[in-house]
Structure 1
């Protein structure tokens, strides 16, 4: 972390935190004060923070050299490329109406009450895994499942919580999720080149995510009904489309390729080709829905998919620019050294605890936007964990799962809960809910936090980096490592 030239500020090294403070002010302003979730606004805050921070640098040129070094880092560039690729795939899945297929199943099976709450949770899990977008899943699922589900006897609060929980689960585990990509890309190997591969990360993370999802599913089944009898719902039938289930085929192939090859670019390519063919042959998309021009404006999921990720890419660029300033100013070194030399991070368990606490605090400060929090805290987690020889998969999973836990659903700060509460409004059949009501019903992130605390305390799933990056059960300085 000492590759960059030292950058000095007027007023001392603490002035390097000014861009961070300005960025946090934008997070609080938009998510807490204005109740507006907008990644472009966050990115704007980041760029404004960089401009103001430059005025405090003793050497203006070196400041912008540091910004460019952060933006041009291999981690930042790889994240941007992957985000654009998966943006196209996620848009394909949305446009081909996978959610309509799940609604068709619920309608045909006559699900109601608690069973419908459970089904909604599972459906949202799969939709979010397929699209890689928690926010996109919420905007898709709430108008379809929430009013109809209440009519069919589901408890309104728990039904809304099930939608938010399913969206967070998919974001937590999806190979094409921006949070999965960011958390993996920020954790580098020390015994070989490169960062944690997404396929390996998702495979190793599944044990924690599936346990939390299983417990949540049982809770929704037990508590998710109001006792009302089944009610005929024209809205449910109108929103259903069995053809959407066909898109599960390319999704399954994509997941298989991702897990087998551990190459997200190959997996996305296969998914795009097979998914496009399936959508066109089934009539879910017209050729113009793939790529075209209408009235002089470009159309198709390829264009809209890239466009939908532009705000997130801008956020990545601004945050990595800020991280470049912190690195060049020696701030990251100071933070890592303070944590690593402290008593807490002096053991593997302590290092994981420090990562969990650090990313949780950062996520709360960033309004529950875990992609931004992991961009900021990722390099710190990388250094803390590497000093205890923790494998990149383990560092990634501890950071990602804590960022997806309680810290992303704190009622007064959470963008997830603000959006969820917003989407419960405006329905004649169902009540509008507050963020506090949603918090207690959003089981998955709450249970996931407990699962990770147990994993850190007991060492469940803990692996260290051995020769050539192989995951081993013991550190080399502790005993002879055993390959796993």
Structure 2
């Protein structure tokens, strides 16, 4: 009876079940094409690749309608819908921080304190950490920070390679730890509880992840402080520096602190975003950082303001989430995910909690490299697999989330020939007078945070540091509960 039911329910393909991987292969090809061949980082293009992959994959399905039923089931899953809704909410908050010029406040501090050399490199790292934490966007932080910190920092005696590595590292740190980051939301939302309803809450995930991120950030900070200087500083363009500096931007750190406090205290991202948006909007208006039209308005017949802009900015990412979950729906309906999970779970590697964590780390790292360092896409793809592998060993959703996220934000996202982060970083070092244009290989050697994070997570997996299991009612416990956790 079971075999017959499985045969009736399983999505089948001409050429065998391995053809279910065709959409994944086509999607991966789009990642390589845009990031490696064309040197372009475009989430809309990736989403397009995902939808094209589905259109082609459907032609190989034995039952065309059943293929699209599987796609719709994947897109309409609770995990997919929750990720999309949260992304739209946090998009507005991130746009508010960008528009209110927080980065200009950090430039003002550096100017007033007379920072130069290694001190400025270290400061740039810390500033980018905070900007990325506040905005939840690593790529957005890089586009904001490079034009401001890179040319001025080189002129003030910072080592160009170390300074670029510090900016990239700070952007990845914030993306790794920010409650409003798409990677944090995706990694948490894909890991479900087995002893109660729901997925890992973002506040609990970030709180438990901080130990790994802060240790890696501390190690990176020491390196930037020691090796971040290049010698004597040249004369800086004071007019350019003054134009970039804006002390008022620092006032926006207050609503962001409130947002973080609410997120950690209530573990409810919607309440935290509401608090951040309300207080941040009022603060920006009173401080003169935004006009009322900067909140919501119309210009030349087009809607403007950070509320509209925040939603618009996240549309490409939402499209990517939709495409990837459609692909995941196909893999699940074809029984591919069950095959992968069973193969890993029955193997010697994943036969223990430590081995399951190692399997998650290796799996998500390989997927991240395949997807050109786009860790949001890699975690969307590998998240359900990590969820099943970790649950079979009773690992708590927080632990599964952190192992997956930190390995995806580590070495695998900065491989020089595949990394979108490094391609963008190298691109943004060009065109600055007096500052050299760097290669991806050069920046890789100075991107210390993702490298340090990988080392920290390897130590955590080997030693069991921070490992927790899911106890009754989803409580995190140190010892594995004897009763098996249903997958």
TM-score range, shorter chain: over 0.9
CA 1:476 to 1:45, structure 2 compared with 1: closer, same or farther past 3 Å?
Answer: same
Shift of 1:49: 0.3
Give CA-to-partner distance per residue, 1:177-219, whole Å, 9 cap, x none.
0000000000000000000000000000000000000010010
Q: Please tell me whether the aligned partners of residues 178 and 184 of structure 2 are also in contact (alpha carbons under 8 angstroms).
A: yes
Matched, 1:430 2:438: no
Q: Which of the numbers 373, 376, 379 marks the counterpart of 1:374?
A: 379
Rounded to whole Å, the distance in 1 between the matches of 2:164 and 2:7 is 48
Q: Please tell me whether the aligned partners of residues 469 and 477 of structure 2 are also in contact (alpha carbons under 8 angstroms).
A: yes
After superposition, the CA RMSD in angstroms is: 1.2
Rounded to whole Å, the distance in 2 between the matches of 1:308 and 1:68 is 24
Rounded to whole Å, the distance in 1 between the matches of 2:481 and 2:460 is 21
Q: Aligned ranges for residues 144-183 of structure 1 at < 5 Å?
A: 144-183=148-187
Matched, 1:332 2:337: yes
Shift of 1:294: 1.2
> Aligned residue for 1:128?
132
Rounded to whole Å, the distance in 1 between the matches of 2:360 and 2:452 is 19
> Aligned residue for 2:204?
200
Q: Which of the numbers 293, 302, 309 marks the counterpart of 2:298?
A: 293
Rounded to whole Å, the distance in 1 between the matches of 2:309 and 2:321 is 19
> Aligned residue for 1:260?
265
Q: Aligned ranges for residues 43-62 of structure 1 at < 5 Å?
A: 43-62=47-66
Q: Which of the numbers 106, 109, 134 marks the counterpart of 2:113?
A: 109
Rounded to whole Å, the distance in 2 between the matches of 1:287 and 1:266 is 23
Instruction: Give the secondary structure class of the aligned counterpart of 1:123.
Output: helix
Matched, 1:76 2:80: yes
CA 1:402 to 1:382, structure 2 compared with 1: closer, same or farther past 3 Å?
Answer: same
Rounded to whole Å, the distance in 2 between the matches of 1:229 and 1:429 is 11
Shift of 1:476: 1.4
CA 1:71 to 1:327, structure 2 compared with 1: closer, same or farther past 3 Å?
Answer: same
In structure 2, list runs of 5 or more residues that go unmatched: 1-5
In structure 1, list runs of 5 or more residues that go unmatched: 480-484
Rounded to whole Å, the distance in 2 between the matches of 1:142 and 1:18 is 38
> Aligned residue for 1:420?
425
Rounded to whole Å, the distance in 2 between the matches of 1:53 and 1:210 is 43
Shift of 1:402: 0.1
Q: Please tell me whether the aligned partners of residues 204 and 267 of structure 2 are also in contact (alpha carbons under 8 angstroms).
A: yes
Give the TM-score of the pair, scaled to structure 1: 0.98
Q: Which of the numbers 5, 8, 12 marks the counterpart of 1:8?
A: 12
Q: Please tell me whether the aligned partners of residues 4 and 66 of structure 1 are also in contact (alpha carbons under 8 angstroms).
A: no
Q: Aligned ranges for residues 214-293 of structure 1 at < 5 Å?
A: 214-229=218-233, 231-234=235-238, 235-293=240-298
Instruction: Give the secondary structure class of the aligned counterpart of 2:107.
Output: helix
CA 1:3 to 1:119, structure 2 compared with 1: closer, same or farther past 3 Å?
Answer: farther
Q: Which of the numbers 447, 455, 471 marks the counterpart of 1:466?
A: 471
> Aligned residue for 1:85?
89
Rounded to whole Å, the distance in 2 between the matches of 1:333 and 1:303 is 41
Shift of 1:265: 0.3
Instruction: Give the secondary structure class of the aligned counterpart of 1:298.
Output: strand
Rounded to whole Å, the distance in 2 between the matches of 1:166 and 1:31 is 21
Rounded to whole Å, the distance in 2 between the matches of 1:169 and 1:448 is 9
Residue-pair matches, total = 478
> Aligned residue for 1:482?
none
Q: Please tell me whether the aligned partners of residues 13 and 62 of structure 2 are also in contact (alpha carbons under 8 angstroms).
A: yes
Shift of 1:237: 2.0
Q: Please tell me whether the aligned partners of residues 464 and 473 of structure 1 are also in contact (alpha carbons under 8 angstroms).
A: yes
Give CA-to-partner distance per residue, 1:384-442, whole Å, 9 cap, x none.
00000000000000000000000000000000000000000001120000000000000
Shift of 1:70: 0.1
Q: Please tell me whether the aligned partners of residues 119 and 228 of structure 2 are also in contact (alpha carbons under 8 angstroms).
A: yes
Shift of 1:238: 1.6
Shift of 1:233: 3.3
Q: Which of the numbers 320, 343, 347 marks the counterpart of 2:352?
A: 347
Shift of 1:475: 0.6
Q: Please tell me whether the aligned partners of residues 112 and 230 of structure 1 are also in contact (alpha carbons under 8 angstroms).
A: no
4+ residue runs of structure 1 moved beyond 4 angstroms? Answer: none
Shift of 1:229: 3.6
Q: Please tell me whether the aligned partners of residues 95 and 301 of structure 1 are also in contact (alpha carbons under 8 angstroms).
A: yes
Give CA-to-partner distance per residue, 1:330-364, whole Å, 9 cap, x none.
00000000000000000000000000000000000
Shift of 1:116: 0.1
Matched, 1:357 2:369: no
Matched, 1:402 2:407: yes
Q: Please tell me whether the aligned partners of residues 87 and 182 of structure 2 are also in contact (alpha carbons under 8 angstroms).
A: yes
Q: Please tell me whether the aligned partners of residues 184 and 393 of structure 1 are also in contact (alpha carbons under 8 angstroms).
A: yes
Rounded to whole Å, the distance in 2 between the matches of 1:216 and 1:363 is 22
Q: Which of the numbers 391, 395, 398 marks the counterpart of 1:393?
A: 398
CA 1:61 to 1:101, structure 2 compared with 1: closer, same or farther past 3 Å?
Answer: same
Q: Please tell me whether the aligned partners of residues 391 and 464 of structure 1 are also in contact (alpha carbons under 8 angstroms).
A: yes
Q: Which of the numbers 206, 213, 222 marks the counterpart of 1:209?
A: 213
Give the TM-score of the pair, scaled to structure 2: 0.97
> Aligned residue for 2:3?
none
Instruction: Give the secondary structure class of the aligned counterpart of 1:293.
Output: strand
Rounded to whole Å, the distance in 2 between the matches of 1:361 and 1:378 is 13
Rounded to whole Å, the distance in 1 between the matches of 2:368 and 2:449 is 17
